[in-house]
Amino acid sequence: MRVYISVDLEGVAGVSHPAPTGRGDLGYPEAVDLMVAETNAAIEGALAAGASAIVVNDSHGGMYNLRPVEVHPAATVVQGQKAWSMVAGADPDAGLGPFGVALFVGYHARAGHPVGTLAHTYSMRPTLTLLDGRPTGEYGVNAAVLGAWGIPVGLVTGDDALAAEVGEWLPWADCVVVKTAVGGNAAASIHPGEARKRIAAGAQHGVERALAGELQPLVVPEPVSIEVDYARGVYADYAAIVPGATRHGDRRVAHGGPDVVTAWRGFLAGLRIAGTVD
């Protein structure tokens, strides 16, 4: 079975403040050390379960954080600015699949979550994101796109706020909690070494369950709408330029489509256009 791993940074054990998640911060190299270690833990767990191939998508920021020489040699690493963003490499046209299961490592709670550590959705501009009328975050929209490609999510790691949200969207997925959210810029983390042990075990269990046919892709009823409330009206002005988008109220933009991939493409395009505004 081929395994797809999407790795973010904000949900990694030991990362609790936004500063070290940025490349210019003195704490960034240490944060990447932690990110690499959790990535390798997930790879080792997947291999222990019998994974035949593993693709890792570096999914944080500019998406070139992981140091390839330090990533487990059994994995192929997808890095750089990618059109398909956090699900790049899993898309059928990439030629790296097909995948039997996806693992989300270092993820975080949705934009607008009251206490989730470093909570956001793709950028800091959205204050709320809705899929099929329900609040969700990167874990939800990414899982829905992967689900359209027939890929179930078997593991999600991050803080306890994330785990509670994931339980509503992906009840079949294992959740590994590596820290307790104390607030938007604070967390109580378990030791990184213990986090790696738990992630390896969770990855092994997730892949084993996928091999046993115990997981299911996330399926969203069609047609699909992804809605975004932006922090400023001008962000919504720009996002609403995307073909098919509709503007609602002061700061909301809806991206609809006959299927989730179409809606997600509009959503992602809107976020990127909104990101050009000062």
Listed by start position, the domains of the chain span 2-211, 224-274
pLDDT of residue 24: 96
Q: With cut-offs at 50, 70 and 90, classify the pLDDT of residue 15.
A: very high
**Which of 75, 91, 94, 108 has its CA nearest to residue 5?**
75
Instruction: Summarize the confidence of residues 69-89 as an average pLDDT.
Output: 98
pLDDT of residue 262: 98
Q: Say which CATH topology domain 224-274 has.
A: Gyrase A; domain 2 (3.30.1360)
Do 11 and 113 contact (CB within 8 A), yes or no? no
Model pLDDT for residues 28-40, shown as the tens digit of each residue: 999 999 999 999 9
Model pLDDT for residues 143-199, shown as the tens digit of each residue: 999 999 999 999 999 999 999 999 999 999 999 999 999 999 999 999 999 999 999
Q: Nearest 10 degrees: CA dihedral of 239, 242, 248, 254? A: -100
Model pLDDT for residues 253-273, shown as the tens digit of each residue: 999 999 999 999 999 999 999
Q: Say which CATH topology domain 2-211 has.
A: Rossmann fold (3.40.50)
Residue with tokens 């690499």: 36
Tokens of 227: 């809605």
Give the integer Cα–Cα distance in Å for 256 and 108.
25
Q: In what order do the strands lie in the sheet with 224-230?
A: 134-135, 126-131, 224-230, 252-257, 245-248
Percent of the chain with pLDDT over 70: 100
Give the integer Cα–Cα distance in Å for 134 and 93.
29
DSSP 19-57: GGGSTTSTTHHHHHHHHHHHHHHHHHHHHHTT-SEEEEE
pLDDT of residue 210: 98
- Estimate to the nearest angstrom the gap between the alpha carbon of 121 and the chain centroid: 9
Q: pTM of the entire structure?
A: 0.98
**Which of 104, 105, 1, 3 has its CA nearest to residue 55?**
3
